[in-house]
Amino acid sequence: MSGTRNDWSREEITEIYNMPLMELIYKAATVHRQYHETGEVQVCTLLSIKTGGCSEDCGYCPQAARYHTDVEAHKLLDKETVVGNAMKAKEAGSTRFCMGAAWREVRDNKDFDRVIEMVQEVNQLGLEVCCTLGMLTEEQAQKLKDAGLYAYNHNLDTSEEYYKEIISTRKYEDRLDTLAHVRKANISVCSGGIIGMGESQVDRIGMLHTLSTLPEHPESVPVNALVPVEGTPLEDQPRVSVWEMIRMIATARIIMPKAMVRLSAGRTAMSTEEQALCFMAGANSIFAGEKLLTTPNPDFEEDRKMFELLGLKPRAAFKGKEVEEPASSYKPAYS
Ligand code: SF4
């Protein structure tokens, strides 16, 4: 097993990305088997704990307040609802529970205090707790870590060059700064992007280059296919083909071999056969449950049947990392 590399050049990644497809899948599958148990897939559940009304202008997102979409905004959910959802996700076989809030950034207020309590309680359930809450300071990242947060999702979305075409309300460096704060707090990093937003192949490779040349690779790399939503600036984007997804997944697998590569948004438009090819190409993580924040996703039962058919098994929680003690001293401040 060769060590991981953080010095990939764009040319090398381009060469991998453009390999003949069957060769690419074979190479990615080989790397996958060197670093991961075959047939093991991480099952994560994502819950929107605060929906809509976001001040940012991400062109793909129906939660931006400035776009007129069918998303029903709601304030931060109460802790009991969130913990109840986490319990259901665990019963259905998820090992990671990710809580997403449509915030530009985390603010030090009562809402953040409530999220901290949610993290503490979900951690107590023995689930890997993940959050995606927007930009974070170093102190906030540490606070989340102390509460038992296992992973933080903050996607780069696309290449640095194409970023301004998709989002104008923040910069690429802001994303990278938050990732650095998460890493510094010793929280597992989850960062990937979306394809199908009108970007070129060069942009896709650019994003993979940035991720794979970070001082440490993200532990999770979600690869999303844009789900165009009416009312957003990207509503008319054509759907990406499965072959493009496979190229992204396989390239990510080869250049970041230890990462969990997540086949994320866009699965509802894929057949079981297409998803099987993505798993062959090195995807080993999915989101389960009917919804991904606001867009549809296959339900648990559909995925259970697919796992059975393909001989896949869910990956245990905290695998590959020492189990961290749940924050057992935690006492709820209020409920
Ligand atoms: S992706 Fe996140 S930051 Fe961007 S508009 Fe949607 S909720 Fe806001």
Which pLDDT score is estimated for 328? Answer: 34
DSSP-derived secondary structure letter, 263: E
Residue to mutate (ligand 1; options 47, 57, 63; most atoms within 8 A of CB): 63
d(CA 133, CA 112): 10
Active site residues: 54, 58, 61, 98, 130, 190, 262
- Per the DSSP assignment, residues forming a β-bridge with 224 are 194
The atom of ligand 1 lying closest to the CA of 167 is 4
d(CA 145, CA 186): 7
Q: Is 234 in the pocket of ligand 1 (CB under 6 A)?
A: no
- Number of helices (H), then strands (E), belonging to the chain: the values are 11, 12
Does residue 15 have a pLDDT over 70? yes
Report which protein residue has its CA nearest ligand 1's atom 7: 102
Which pLDDT score is estimated for 331? Answer: 29
d(CA 236, CA 168): 20
Does residue 261 have a pLDDT over 90? yes
Residue range 130-165, pLDDT digits in tens: 999 999 999 999 999 999 999 999 999 999 999 999
d(CA 335, CA 272): 42
Q: pLDDT class for 290, splitting at 50, 70, 90?
A: low
Does residue 295 have a pLDDT over 90? no
Which pLDDT score is estimated for 317? Answer: 79
Whether the model clears a pTM of 0.85, i.e. scores above it, the answer is yes
Residue range 208-225, pLDDT digits in tens: 999 999 999 999 999 999
Q: Is 100 in the pocket of ligand 1 (CB under 6 A)?
A: no
Q: Tell me the CA–centroid distance for residue 240 and ligand 1, in Å.
A: 21
Q: pLDDT class for 335, splitting at 50, 70, 90?
A: very low
Q: Is 233 in the pocket of ligand 1 (CB under 6 A)?
A: no
Report which protein residue has its CA nearest ligand 1's atom 4: 58
Measured CA distances, 260 to 102, 168, 222, 233 (Å): 24, 30, 8, 30
Which pLDDT score is estimated for 321? Answer: 57
Q: Is 63 in the pocket of ligand 1 (CB under 6 A)?
A: yes
Which pLDDT score is estimated for 75? Answer: 94
Q: Tell me the CA–centroid distance for residue 250 and ligand 1, in Å.
A: 27
The atom of ligand 1 lying closest to the CA of 55 is 8
